[in-house]
Structure 1
């Protein structure tokens, strides 16, 4: 039997109603959902713990895919702030731009933005992979502990500010922050970038990237 697609139109529905429709479908073991035109509503497809597939089309608000733990969410359109906030597992792909705070506090999983994003990308990242195929603003990777942030374009000021762990790769221009240091790109870094770019259909010259890591493991203690 072919899998059924659940279509939810957000034109006349509230955030609560949309998420109720999703919960109902998941309780009936449905796995594929299509959501369109959600009026820039916040907190759509949040807290998902099931392995499921979501395709969203339109312009969405803040916290799309927050607390995701297993779903694959693909968005065609723009999103607001804090996409994938505190995500622990799964995949979020945005075919468009995103606002501030992409992947804030992410524990695991992958977020890919095929467009520009705002400030504060990957702040407090604890192990996720965040890829921006475009330019970003300031303070990317602030206080990050682990994981990767990959930016194919330019980054703003204070990139990696007070970072404690993890790695930031930038293909364009940037300015590092406190406790961030530019280091030599190794063959393992190039292989990692190549694999990620191939997986997500990103065309970027690996050799142009620079790697940013922390200087001191305990930067707050001098």
Structure 2
């Protein structure tokens, strides 16, 4: 199936529709042209991985690691997703119009991930930049060891190590309003809390930079 997609893209076909993907893994991987791909039905793992410009719409549920390490483009899931949504994403946007499992946006380096529902534990672990938005509840250790970026939660959550909870600034509210309008999300922005990093270098102690009592 992925071979057929890449063949069509090489022939400059801009819009592709694939029905009954049968929960197959690694569909629409590594697309680098501005192409619209629609998958009607449930899909497997790693769909849209390494996406670099395509708009991928999944009209069903997806397995693990949708949009893994993508660098640009959009992925819209009209259902729920399993673990690892947007793992290692560099740029681009992933929208899940349902619930998501654990490990959303871990190692996020600059992408935008929106969960229009609830998500599981350890979202945003080690994230460096970018945004994660969840309109419902988040799980345990949200933002654990995060170094940069922002996590916006509309429901309940339990923050992880180095996660600092703040009220939304005017810029935050404006950002969420624009995202919600663009992706037809109806939520009250006033309910959201912002999670960001507490320390820039959370892995180092007070003696950072010293060896045998001498400063480096």
1:98 maps to 2:84: no
Alignment-derived partner of residue 112 in structure 1:
95
Which of 162, 167, 170 aligns to 1:187? It is 170
Alignment-derived partner of residue 38 in structure 2:
55
Which of 168, 187, 192 aligns to 1:204? It is 187
- Deviations 1:88-108, CA, capped at 9 Å, x for gaps: 000000110000000000000
Following superposition, which runs of at least 4 residues in structure 1 exceed 4 angstroms of deviation?
none
What stretches of structure 2 of length at least 5 have no aligned partner? 206-216
Secondary structure (helix, strand or coil) at the match of 1:131 reads: strand
Which of 109, 124, 130 aligns to 1:126? It is 109
Q: CA deviation at 1:21?
A: 1.0
Tell me the matched-pair count. 205
TM-score, normalized by length of structure 1? 0.92
User: Distance between the aligned counterparts of 1:166 and 1:23, measured in 2?
Assistant: 33
User: Distance between the aligned counterparts of 2:18 and 2:108, measured in 1?
Assistant: 28
User: Distance between the aligned counterparts of 2:152 and 2:6, measured in 1?
Assistant: 37
Which of 143, 150, 158 aligns to 2:133? It is 150
What stretches of structure 1 of length at least 5 have no aligned partner? 1-17
1:139 maps to 2:122: yes
Alignment-derived partner of residue 20 in structure 1:
3
Which of these two proteins has the greater Rg computed from alpha carbons?
A: 2
RMSD: 0.5
TM-score, normalized by length of structure 2? 0.94
User: Distance between the aligned counterparts of 2:104 and 2:74, measured in 1?
Assistant: 16
1:159 maps to 2:142: yes
Q: CA deviation at 1:184?
A: 2.0
